[in-house]
Structure 1
Amino acid sequence: MAGQSPLLIGFSARIYTPGTPGIHVDGVWTRTLHYLEQSVANWVLGGGAVALMIPAVTADSVVTRRDLNLRHYADALDGLVLQGGNDVAPETYGQTPLHPDWHGDRVRDLYEIELVDAFVSAGKPVFGICRGLQLLNVMYGGTLVQDIPTQRPTARAHRDSSNYERHFHDVEILPGTRLAQLYGGLARATVNSIHHQAIEKLAPAFVVEARCPDDGTVEAVRHSGDAWISAVQWHPEFHVPGDPATFDDSRLLADFLAAARERKR
Structure 2
Amino acid sequence: MSRRPLRIGLSARIYHPQAGATALLSKSLHYLEQSVAHWVMARDVMVFMIPAVSGDGIVNRSSIRLSDYAEYLDGLLLQGGADVSPQSYGEEALHPDWGGDIVRDAYEMELLHEFIEAGKAVLGICRGAQVINVARGGTLYQDIATQIEAAGAHVHDDYDRHSHAIAWEEDAGLARLYPGASGGKVISIHHQSIKALGRGLTVEARGASDGVIEAVRLQGKPYVLGLQWHPEFHPPGSPDLLDSTPILDEFLNAARGHRW
Band of TM-score, shorter chain:
over 0.9
Task: Kindly indicate whether the alpha-carbon contact (under 8 Å) linking 2:202 and 2:216 is maintained by their aligned counterparts in 1.
Answer: yes
State the 4+ residue runs in structure 1 displaced beyond 3 angstroms: 24-27, 64-68
Measure how far apart 1:175 and its partner are: 2.8
1:102 to 98, 114, 128: 98
Match of 1:62 in 2: 58
Q: 1:215 aligns with which of 194, 210, 229?
A: 210
- Aligned counterpart, 2:130: 134
Residues 10 and 53 in structure 1, CA contact (< 8 A), matched pair in contact too: yes
1:119 to 115, 127, 130: 115
Match for residue 8 of structure 1? 7
1:78 to 70, 74, 87: 74
Report the Cα offset of residue 225 of structure 1.
2.4
**One-letter amino acid of the structure 2 residue matched with residue 14 of structure 1:** R
Q: Which aligned pairs between 1:125-204 and structure 2 lie closer than 5 A?
A: 125-160=121-156, 162-204=157-199
Q: Is contact 1:175–1:187 with CA below 8 Å preserved after alignment?
A: no
Contact 2:175–2:183 (Cα < 8 Å) also in 1 = no
What is the letter of the counterpart of residue 139 of structure 1? A
CA distance in structure 2 between the partners assigned to 1:154 and 1:45 by the alignment: 38
Secondary structure of 1:142's counterpart equals: coil
Q: Deviations over 1:134-184 (max 9, x none)?
A: 010011011000011121242111001x20011110000123111011111
In the aligned structure 1, how far is the partner of 2:258 from the partner of 2:152? 40
Which of 224, 231, 235 is 1:229 aligned to? 224
- In the superposition, relative to structure 1, how do residues 67 and 4 fare at CA in structure 2: closer, same or farther (>3 Å)? closer
Deviation at 1:26, TM superposition (A): 4.3
Q: Give the RMSD, CA atoms, in angstroms.
A: 1.6
What is the DSSP-based 3-state SS (H/G/I as helix, E as strand, rest coil) of the residue aligned with 2:48? strand
Matched residue, 1:251: 246
Please give the per-residue CA displacement for 1:26-58, whole angstroms capped at 9, x wherever unaligned.
432221100121000000000221111000011
Per-residue deviation, residues 64-85 of structure 1 (Å, max 9, x unmatched): 7886510110011000000000
Distance (whole Å) between structure 2 residues aligned to residue 84 and residue 57 of structure 1: 19
**Which amino acid in structure 2 is aligned with residue 17 of structure 1?**
H
Normalising by structure 2, report the TM-score: 0.96
Which secondary structure state, in structure 2, belongs to the residue aligned with residue 117 of structure 1? helix
Give the distance between the partners of 1:213 and 1:238, measured in 2 at CA: 20
Query: TM-score scaled by structure 1?
Result: 0.94
Give me the whole-angstrom Cα distance separating, in 2, the residues matched to 1:93 and 1:153. Answer: 22
Residue ranges of structure 1 left out of the alignment (5+ in a row): none
Q: How many residues align?
A: 260
Partner AA of 2:239 in structure 1? P
Establish whether residue 88 from structure 1 lines up as the match of residue 87 from structure 2.
no
Secondary structure of the corresponding residue to residue 52 of structure 2: coil
Return the letter of the residue paired with 1:77. L
Instruction: Provide Cα deviations, 1:97-125, integer angstroms capped at 9, x if missing partner.
Output: 00110000000111111101111111100
Q: Secondary structure at the match of 1:263?
A: coil
CA separation in 2, counterparts of 1:35 and 1:105? 15
Q: Deviations over 1:167-207 (max 9, x none)?
A: 11000012311101111142020001210000111113111
